[in-house]
Amino acid sequence: MEGNPTGCMGTPTFSQRETSDWRSGTQRGLANVRYVLDKSASRFTVQAFATGLLSAFGHSPTIAIRDFEGEVDFVPDTYEKATLRVTIRTSTFEVLDEMKRDDREKLQRDMFDNVLEVHRFPTAIFESRQINVQKLSNLLLEARVAGDLTLHGVTEPLAFDARVQNSSTSLRTSGEFSIRQSDYDIRPVSIAGGTLRLKDELKFRFEMVARPAP
């Protein structure tokens, strides 16, 4: 990921045969197909990391993103001209970890009011600029996605790798990426007078299911 910490692999390379397949698909004039995310069958989480004097006894919370929508378009068989757009509703973040009620309420309140400022920035949006796809088998793909993430009113480049399983009824995609909150003018949460804080880095993990658009 450009300018951000990430655990992504390098950009996949393509054989002459795969390149030829892409060109032949274009020559055949295949129309794009569109898939939409099925959030009820998907999982999207954020991992935060504790720091500070009490970090050894504190929480590194996992936060679920409950409401999001998205779509992916591509040329069948070749996966040429692929695009991805995902919209997240920031007010639907939910802490999953067990913790004291007061700690949970304080964390949620700070997250919505002071960190994400959901009243000012109700959505976060990712839009791809380029997607490169490598076929690992007939049903298994590896995709390198590069685009822009707009969060907290700031747009920054973001790239990540994803594994994709393609069946006749769905696309199942998994992967992860990291961002720094400071890149988006976000102040990390601080609890207990600053003795427990969350680090700048956040790690996002996703297991997405997309189905053909009606």
- Residue 9, domain member (yes or no): no
- Residue 94, domain member (yes or no): yes
- Residue 11, domain member (yes or no): no
Token couple for 189: 């949460």
- Residue 5, domain member (yes or no): no
- Residue 6, domain member (yes or no): no
Beta carbons of 156 and 4 less than 8 angstroms apart: yes
Query: In the chain, how many domains are there?
Result: 1
Look at the chain and count its residues. Answer: 214
End-to-end CA distance of the chain: 33
Beta carbons of 59 and 97 less than 8 angstroms apart: yes
Q: What is the DSSP annotation of 153-182?
A: TEEEEEEEEEEEEE-SS-EEEEEEEEEEGG
- Residue 76, domain member (yes or no): yes
Residue 24 CB neighbour total at 10 angstroms: 12
Q: C-alpha distances in angstroms, 153 versus 88, 119, 156?
A: 13, 12, 10
Q: What is the CATH number of the domain that holds 81?
A: 2.40.128.110
Per-residue pLDDT of the chain (214 residues; tens, 9 = 90+): 444 444 444 444 444 444 434 343 444 457 899 999 999 999 999 998 877 654 444 567 899 999 999 999 999 888 989 999 999 999 999 988 777 778 778 778 888 998 899 999 999 999 999 999 999 998 999 999 999 999 999 999 999 999 999 988 999 999 999 999 999 999 877 665 555 678 899 999 999 999 999 9
Alpha carbons 43 and 206: distance in angstroms, whole number: 6
Alpha carbons 204 and 32: distance in angstroms, whole number: 29
Residue 56 CB neighbour total at 10 angstroms: 7
- Residue 84, domain member (yes or no): yes
- Residue 124, domain member (yes or no): yes
Residue 190 pLDDT: 66
Residue 142 sits in which domain range? 16-212
